[in-house]
Amino acid sequence: MCWSPLLKKFCSPKKYGVSALDERSLESNYDFTSSLFFVSAFLTTTGYGETVPISDGGKLFCIFYCMLGVPLTLLIFACLVQRLMVFVTRRPVRYVHTRWGYAAGRVAVLHALLLGALMITFFFIIPAAIYTAMEGDWSFLESLYFCFISLSTIGLGDYIPGKTRSQAVRQAYEFGTSCYLILGLIGMLLVLETFWELPGIQRFVKIFRSPWETQEGKLTVLPMDDSLSREELAAPAPWEDKNQGEPFYTQSSASYMPDKH
């Protein structure tokens, strides 16, 4: 089909959420929930590509906003995950190990598998079922595909929820999707960090460490729990060797981890 340049220019705004035939589309193109959905997808680097800035000023703002917002978002996520690791992974594993005497390495593996199963259930299977029921024309596989593409931050943009809903429902729908995206990414990072700290994974990673790394320069593991005593802070994690502690990695020199008075 041959399209005239005028017809192409007339129809091209449709892919950005603006209908040339419906003046009401201008009212909902950038409302609060649409903007929140755009910002959450933007800062988490998911970037579906459905809602984008069209003006030069908007594009320039996105460049500077990305330079500041994306590193800050990743920093906040990293700090939050490290704090949650104390309560979600390290304390439960230590408690089971000390309370019932099970091997700490085995407890850590079982805990990581359980956490992964919960992540799959509550952030993939259940949301996929909800999207299947809400969208109507999405199959369960397509909904599951959308959840995976979103939480893996690939964001191809071929499936966007809430585009066939009324204005009121669409706003609540986009707000819920924004919250799901943020909480799901935190959950994904938490599960990945839990698996990263498994003894088997650490032994495997140890193979690829640089030969110049000495005992003095090794990464030291310090717990991130302010409620622990100094003796507990100095104690290694139950599945680590005596030269290591819990997996918040800092250099062994005290310059990166000042003492708290």
Distance CA 248, CA 65 (A): 30
What is the pLDDT, as a whole number, of residue 165? 61
Extract the tokens encoding 19. 């209908």
Instruction: Report how many helices (DSSP H) and strands (DSSP E) the chain contains, helices first.
Output: 11, 2
Work out the pLDDT band at 207, boundaries 50, 70, 90. confident
Q: Is the pLDDT of residue 114 over 70?
A: yes
Q: Give 166-173's long-range contacts (Cβ < 8 A, gap of 24+).
A: 167/28, 170/28, 170/33, 171/31, 171/32, 171/33, 171/34, 172/33, 173/134
- Are the beta carbons of 247 and 108 closer than 8 angstroms? no
In 3-state terms the chain splits into helix, strand, coil percentages (rounded to 5) of: 60, 0, 35
Q: Which two three-digit tokens encode residue 198?
A: 């498994």
78-98 per-position pLDDT tens digit: 999 999 999 999 999 999 999
- The pTM (predicted TM-score) of the whole model is 0.71
SS3 (DSSP) at 14: helix
User: Residue 251: which pLDDT band, with cuts at 50, 70 and 90?
Assistant: very low
In sequence order, what are the residues at sequence separation of 6 or more whose Cβ sits closer than 8 angstroms to the Cβ of residue 219?
A: 249, 250, 251, 252
**44-57 average pLDDT score:** 83
| CA 40/CA 74 separation, integer angstroms | 12
Per residue in 142-177, pLDDT (tens digit) is: 999 999 999 999 888 888 887 766 666 788 888 999
At which residue do the structure tokens 């959950």 appear?
Answer: 187
User: Where do we find the tokens 């908007």?
Assistant: 58
Average the pLDDT over each of 16-20, 63-67, 158-162, 243-247 and give the range with the smallest value. 243-247
pLDDT of residue 143: 94
Question: Looking up tokens 């809903």, which residue turns up?
Answer: 165
Compute the distance between CA of residue 98 and CA of residue 93 in angstroms, rounded to an integer.
Answer: 9
